[in-house]
A and B are shown apart, each in its own frame.
Chain A
Amino acid sequence: MMKQSIAHIIKTKISGAVSVTGAGVLFLIVFIIDAVHKNLEIDLGLISQLRNVFVVLAFIGLYIFLQSIMPRRSVNPLRLFGIIFMTLLSFLAMSLVIALISINGFEALEKQLIPTDYLTIFFANIVSIFTGIVAIILLYTIAQLIFIKQRKGTKRNLIIFLVILGIASLSVWNQEPLESTTTSFVFFVIAIFAGIANSFKFTWIVYLSKREKLYSIGYSFLLFVLFIILNVTLTESGFINRSLLYYHYPLQYFVRIIAIFSVIYFGMSFVVSLFHLPTAEAFDRKRIELSSVHNLSRLITRVFDFKDLVQTVTNLTIEVTEARSAWLEVIKKNDAGDGAMEFELVALKNIEPAEIDIITHPETGLRRHIIETKKVVVIDEFVRDRRTRDISRSVKNIGSLIGVPLVSQEQMIGILYAAKTMEFGFDKEETELISTFADHVSIAIENSRLIEQSIERERLQQELMVAQKVQKKLLPQRLPEPKGFELDAFSAPAFEVGGDYYDVIELDSNRLGVVIGDVSGKGVSAAFYMAELKGIFQALSKSCTSTAEFLVKANNALYGSIDKSAFISLIYAIVDTSDHSMHLSRAGHCPMMHLHNGTVKLHKPNGIGLGLTGAELFDEVIEEEKIPISVGDVCVFYTDGVTEARKSDGEEFGTDRLVTLVTKHKEKSPRELRSLILDEISAFTGSDSFDDDITIVILKRNSG
Chain B
Amino acid sequence: MSDFSIKVRNENPVHVLELKGYLDAHTAPKLEETFQDLINKGHHKIVVNCNDLSYISSAGLGVFMAFVEDVREQKGDIKFSNMSQKVYNVFDLLGFPLLYEIFKQEGEAIEKFNSVQSE
Contacts and interface: CB of A to CB of B under 8 A. Distances in A.
Interface residues of A, number: 29
A621 B59 CA distance: 23
Nearest to A519: B58
B79 to A, nearest CB: 17
B85 to A, nearest CB: 12
Contacts of A590: 93
Smallest CB-CB A-B distances: 10 pairs:
A608-B95, A520-B58, A565-B62, A565-B66, A588-B94, A609-B94, A521-B59, A564-B66, A520-B62, A565-B65
Interface string A492-533: 000000000000000000000000001111110000000000
A443 interface: no
Q: Is the interface of A mostly helix, strand, loop or mixed?
A: loop
A566 B28 CA distance: 13
24 contacts: A520-B62, A521-B25, A564-B65, A565-B65, A565-B66, A566-B65, A567-B61, A567-B62, A567-B94, A569-B93, A569-B94, A587-B95, A590-B93, A606-B95, A608-B94, A608-B99, A612-B94, A612-B95, A612-B99, A613-B99, A617-B99, A650-B22, A650-B54, A650-B55
A521 B58 contact: yes
A621 B22 CA distance: 30
B2 to A, nearest CB: 13
Contacts of A607: 95
B75 to A, nearest CB: 19
Nearest to B26: A522
B39 interface: no
Contacts of A521: 25, 58-59, 62
Interface centre among A521, A565, A589 (most CB of B within 10 A): A565
B63 interface: yes
A612 B65 contact: yes
A572 to B, nearest CB: 15
A588 B54 contact: no
Interface of A: 518-523, 563-567, 569, 587-590, 604, 606-609, 612-613, 617, 621, 640, 644, 650, 692
Interface residues of B, number: 19
A677 B40 CA distance: 47
B108 interface: no
Nearest to A568: B58
B116 interface: no
A555 to B, nearest CB: 11
A646 to B, nearest CB: 8
Contacts of B65: 564-567, 612
Contacts of A565: 62-63, 65-66
Contacts of A644: 55, 57
Given A588-B94, A650-B54, 6 more contacts: A565-B66, A567-B62, A569-B94, A608-B99, A609-B94, A612-B99
A523 B61 CA distance: 16
A529 to B, nearest CB: 11
A522 B28 CA distance: 12
Contacts of A617: 98-99
A589 B58 CA distance: 11
Interface in B52-79: 54-55, 57-59, 61-63, 65-66, 69
A695 to B, nearest CB: 14
B81 to A, nearest CB: 20
A671 to B, nearest CB: 28
Contacts of B66: 563-565
Contacts of B54: 650
Contacts of B98: 608, 613, 617, 621
Nearest to A569: B94
Given A565-B66, A650-B54, A520 B95 contact: no
